[in-house]
Amino acid sequence: MKKLFKSMTVALTLTLLFTLLPFEKECRAISEEVLRIHILANSDSEYDQNLKLLVRDEILNFTEDLYKNISSKEEAVLLSRQHLDEIINVAENTLKANGCNKSVRGEICETDFNTRYYGDITMPSGSYTALRLVIGEGEGKNWWCVMYPSLCLYTSSDANSLEDELSSQQYEIITDTPKYEFRFKFLEYFDYFCNLLS
């Protein structure tokens, strides 16, 4: 009986792996096509959280023109690097205009995200390139979105910009959440386990 149980466990595990590995590969490909923004507030106080949202609005206004004519994540990353000092200045000037003298640190980096839901779009967990802004101590709740292709000012037409950048399979993954909910959860655990090993 123990041998049968072990055999069934191994068979189930292998079946899950062979079913989920192609899904994991597609999710990794999605993470390679988008640039995210990640803004961390100074603290969780109402004041600091409101400042974070004001910074968000001004950064999105600034980058809307910056990214207007680009056609790839690589261009978005390059422009973000080239204009990082200006982006930080926009954030700090927004803080100053609202009576706050905190500094802002900024970088383009690889950041791990859990599965995130944004309107009708689900972004799978994984490591993404992100424009990361840290206000002051950066100990407050964060805000994130997809900067390229833009989902930050989400409308139904924004999903079309993602459809242009992703394969049909990848687009289905991010827009048909109920179908893939179990797989998203599995991918989070898989990422967590991989991070433990590394």
> Considering the entire predicted model, what is its pTM?
0.73
Q: What is the pLDDT of residues 11-38, one digit of tens each?
A: 455 455 445 556 667 767 778 888 999 9
Chain-centroid distance of CA 88 in Å reads 20
Q: Is the pLDDT of residue 157 over 50?
A: no
Q: What is the pLDDT of residues 37-78, one digit of tens each?
A: 999 999 999 999 999 999 999 999 998 888 888 888 999 999
Q: What is the pLDDT of residues 174-186, one digit of tens each?
A: 666 566 565 555 5
**Treating both helix axes as pointing N-terminal to C-terminal, what angle do 2-31 and 177-197 enclose, rounded to 10 degrees?**
100
The span from the CA of 136 to the CA of 100, in Å, is: 10
The span from the CA of 64 to the CA of 75, in Å, is: 14
CB of 169 closer than 8 Å to CB of 26: yes
